[in-house]
Amino acid sequence: MQKTQAANPSGTHLPYLARLCGNTNGHIIELGSGYFSTPLLHWTAQHNGKIFRSYETNKNWADTMGEPVSYIENWEKANFFEMRWTIAFIDHGHALLRKEHAMALKNNADYIVLHDTETKNEHIYRYSELWKHFLYRRDFNQIEPHTTIVSNTQQLDWL
């Protein structure tokens, strides 16, 4: 398949998030809000009668996004273990914390979706340190930035 550079790189995860949302029915947590992900994840959880939590540490961005995004001063204030999550989407602005947050959620979320997983960004995110901690991994590299979904409970072949 031919690779494509997205006109707006902020939303390249959307096709994969949408597929997950359309094929799962559970609680959703988002670490780092955005114009593309937040409305989709919020609507999906609301439609299914499930909980949606969106945390953001950038006050200006949290104010711009408004409800249902919760501003928190630092990531220690995010309640990763409030419940078991079906989908955990990690796309916040703290590069090295993304892998730490994925590790924190690895046994408390069925699907963890990571954005910006292309090799050329390895020095920024160090995602390669994560892969050995997950039983299942699916890379979506047709559009840059890449998206990867990992899981310790769910096979990803259907994606």
Checking if the pLDDT of 2 tops 90, the result is no
Higher pLDDT, 11 or 117: 117
* Alpha carbon distances (Å) from 21 to 4, 26, 48, 131: 23, 9, 10, 23
What residues does each domain of the chain span?
A: 4-151
- The string of pLDDT tens digits covering residues 13-51 is 999 999 999 999 999 999 999 999 999 999 999 999 999
CATH second-level architecture of 4-151? 3-Layer(aba) Sandwich (3.40)
Kindly give the interhelix angle for 37-47 and 14-23, rounded to the nearest 10 degrees: 0
Tens digits of residue pLDDT in 96-142: 999 999 999 999 999 999 999 999 999 999 999 999 999 999 999 99
In this predicted structure, the answer to whether residue 8 has a pLDDT above a threshold of 90 is no
Query: At CA 9, angle to CA 32 and CA 145, rounded to 5?
Result: 85
